[in-house]
Amino acid sequence: MKKSQANRTRKAAKKTGAKEFIHYYRDGTVWARGQTLNGSATGYWEWFRKDGTKMGSGYFENGQQVGEWINYDKAGKVEKVRNMKAK
């Protein structure tokens, strides 16, 4: 995550009371990073491969995928973009 995006995410979490959440692979590298509010995913989330390259990113509202979701190839290029609407 770029520093500016990380700062915006942390500030938004503080305002809403969300908690930062990080899930790790068994070897200790970061698998997913985002925030939760009342046990549900909220705000900006990222997923990573074991080598540390970003695999995907997107936004949640009340535990549901919303907005732009991006998948990245191993070189970091955008592979697929999907727009999700809340149900």
pTM: 0.79
Q: How many domains are contained in the chain?
A: 1
- pLDDT tens column, 8-53: 555 555 567 889 999 999 999 999 999 999 999 999 999 999 999 9
> What span, in angstroms and rounded, lies between the C-alpha atoms of 41 and 71?
18
C-alpha–C-alpha distance, residues 61 and 8, integer Å: 16
Task: Give residue 60's pLDDT band: very low, low, confident or very high (50, 70, 90).
Answer: very high
Are 46 and 32 within 8 A, CB to CB? yes
Structural domain including 70 reads 3-84
